[in-house]
A and B are shown apart, each in its own frame.
Chain A
């Protein structure tokens, strides 16, 4: 039985407590004030999983969002950013699952006055607990809530308390309490996700559709900028880059939407922005995968890797500073501003075709191209053929994501699932190539004479060998992944979704 939450203007109004006292014995606890700071990742992973994390000045707590009290409470004066920085095992395990590589960030604090009451029946048995919460000083006046915490086996009493609340003019809160409280600060839990979610209508023209897509992507870019500058975690940059890539893919693949000159101009502009952070992202990935590298090598070579990662960290710091500086330049600001202004009042070509038609034919073409290219790949093909196929798959994936809302969701999900194996395979192949390239450059540039350099070279050499072996394996696996994609099922699915053209 979860807690019932009511919003009220003032608990005494409507005589709620009087009503309760008519029927039950009420025992009040002494009121207390608390100052809590809610925590969540930027993409609301706690909230999305039904949890609410918050800190008091002396503790860190997690509760289910509809529960009356935390199920995990740990003394702590400052809250670390990442799960692996917490000391407590249960907390680490839980946060690892939910937050992953994202940082837990503090939200604006909430000052809460709480008054609890125990409700007893004629035997003196507690049959319900009430809690009246008031949020102090906020612009739109105090917010007041009544929480009815039911007890197992006392559903009848809960129902009558709830009826009394309704009779007193209170309204059931349609969302978790935290969500309503944060509205005080104009914060809307769950309002950011890195997933594209564009609701297109079948009657829209391709220009209208493109505007909707670009609008969402621009807002994603904008909202990630402060996090990149502050360097909270690696995913701000990642999401920002994905949004620029999607923007470019949309500009180049959906040519009917805007005048070609404009599309080309912005495509080039976003390309420049993305190039400025390519190295930074690569370095982020290394650091995220650090443990894996260590695991690949025997213990006695780890020392060699320490030097390598110290070097990566230094480089990353410099790269981050330079990109963060760039994000604060006028040039960058005006690129986004101009793009935003264009989206507000676009120059649209006359006679823009319906989005659904463009989507169908573009997806069909890309699909055919992938099949044709993929079938040509043999054990003798050069690596660049696989890289080129990877780009095509990515383009197809973007198209599917842009236009997902125009097609039946279940079939689209199935198609994307079928693509995943192939994309993962090609992605890993590419990552391994990039990593080997970077390691080789590092090896060539660093000195070889001093003894610590020898250890370092041995470590890098060892890694190169392991990565190259793995890359060969991945190449062999390609044929299997591709065959799965080039299957009768997938062909039928595509025909059903996008027609025969």
Chain B
């Protein structure tokens, strides 16, 4: 670390150590932050009456079991090749996970990017290829790019099953459970900070944070200091190295062209109006739900799993009776244990040392 960096960290630590104000609940909404906070050991530096809670910011975790059921249906009933980010393969659906479907003969192909899925479709013209499009503002542009590529290449055998989500409605939906947010650095890098600035008008406070230990501790200190200064809602960009006011206009334009907001189901939170992104009608040919008339599923979440409450910061993974017993990363019961960024997986991996 540079001298400057060390001083910044020392200053931040002093602020946290000296905090004597009211009890605060701070939520990091981003799964990468959850992981980074454990990795930095940040909780050890937090004042006793400031609680860090993990929110719904892991795309795999908030994807409802219905979505898995839809994908399994496409794979088994329609014989489609399902291309997906690896994490989703092990998420339990109501009957089975995609891994289960695979063992029964379904074609499930993990890919690294949506573009890989398009390439797969190109080289397998005799198969229907469906990409499972999950993710937030950071991943949605690449799904749109994939549709654009498929459109340009005139592909008839490629479509996407959308479960894309936007963060802003989640901030609103959870605002009563928290005093302030640590906003996700990657998401803000795409969408810019206008929205989060405007949220102060609705009484929602927060800071944008980066991911290194020093960036995290600085952001946490800024947040605690602002909370103690006044009751006015606030916003600060503590990650200006990467995050700008306007974000990435190119990415936003791309998404705007191909997708529009729609109501979306979040695991644990239920339906949040206008918090999802789906393909516009013009691109229905690439929308797996429309193309294959996928029936609607009403999946139940695994019995005993408290993912829903955890995603809202209402309880901790360690409060779940299944945690570390029947539910482990090798044999996940709920989605929060599947993804590396899931809150339960993070607690499990870093078990014992907070």
Please determine whether chains A and B interact with each other in the same assembly: no
